[in-house]
Amino acid sequence: MKVTKRWSVALALLAFVLFAQTSYGAAGVFHFGFKKSVGGQLPSINEEGFKDIVVKHGAIFLGNTAQKELYLTFDNGYENGYTAQVLDVLKEKGVPAVFFVTGHYVKDQPELVKRMAAEGHLVGNHSWSHPDMSQLSAEQIRSELEKVKAQVTALTGQQAMDYLRPPRGIFNDHVLAVSKASGYTNVFWSVAYKDWDVNSQKGPSYAFEQVIKQLHPGAVILLHTVSKDNAGALGAIIEEAKRQGYQFKSLDQMVTKSYGA
C-alpha cells in the first residue's frame, strides 16, 4: 500500500510538472515582460527568452531609440468611468494615442469608441473575449480579431485596424504568426507599472512617478484606463515628458523598431 501511495504521489507530481511546462515553458508560451529602463537607459527583452520570435514577427516593443519620441497606448477591457477624462486631456494637450478595445468594451461603450476615432486616435484590437490566445486555434484567433474589427468599423467607419495587443500579454509563435498573417502588428510595451488593480490605486503622484522614472527614447507606454491614478496624472505626465524634450507620436508614425542592446 505504501508503494502504491508513493507512486500515486510521484505520478501526480509528474503530471503537474508536465502541465506547467506545456502551459508556460516547453510549448513556448510567454507572458510579456522586460528589464525596465533606469535613468533613461534602454529597457531590454534579451533575458526573457522570447526576443527571437518578437523580432521574427515584427512585433513592437520600442520605437526609434535614437529619437526622443513616445507612444501612448491604453488598454480598454472595460469602462471604469475615466476614459472620457483621458480623452479630454489628450485633446487639450494635442497628443495622439491608441486604445486597444475588447468586444465587451465595444458593446458597452460605443459612444466612447466613436469619440476615440473622431478625435484622431487609433482604435486597436484587444480581442473579442480577452482569452489566452496561445490556447486557441488559428481559426479561433481570427474569429476573435475579426469580430472586434467588424464592430469598430460599424461604429466608426474605420476600415483599417492594424494593431493588436494580445490579452494579458500572453503569446507564442503561433499567436504572433496568425495575427501577423491577418494583417496585425502586435504591440507590446517598454514602460508600464501595476496600474490595473482598481483596488490598489495610490494617487496621481504615484502614477506620475512610476511613468516618468521609466521614460526613455522610443518608449511605448502602456496604461490602463480603469486606473483613477492614470486619469489624474496624465496631464502632468505629458507636460513633464514634453519639458524633457520628448514628442508624442502615433503608432502610424513609427518608422524604426529597435530592441535595445
Instruction: Identify which of 134, 147, 148, 131 has the alpha carbon closest to the alpha carbon of residue 176.
Output: 134
Catalytic residue among 195, 216, 224, 229: 224
Crossing angle between the packed helical segments 138-156 and 173-181, to the nearest 10 degrees: 50
Residue with cell string 496624465: 234
Catalytic residue among 75, 173, 195, 229: 75
Residues in the chain: 261
Q: Does residue 197 carry a catalytic annotation?
A: no
Grid cell of 104 as nine digits: 465587451
Pairing of strands 185-186, 163-164: parallel
Task: Name the DSSP class of 196.
Answer: -
Yes or no: say if 250 and 122 are a contact pair by the CB < 8 Å rule.
Answer: yes
Q: Does residue 132 carry a catalytic annotation?
A: no
Active site residues: 75, 224
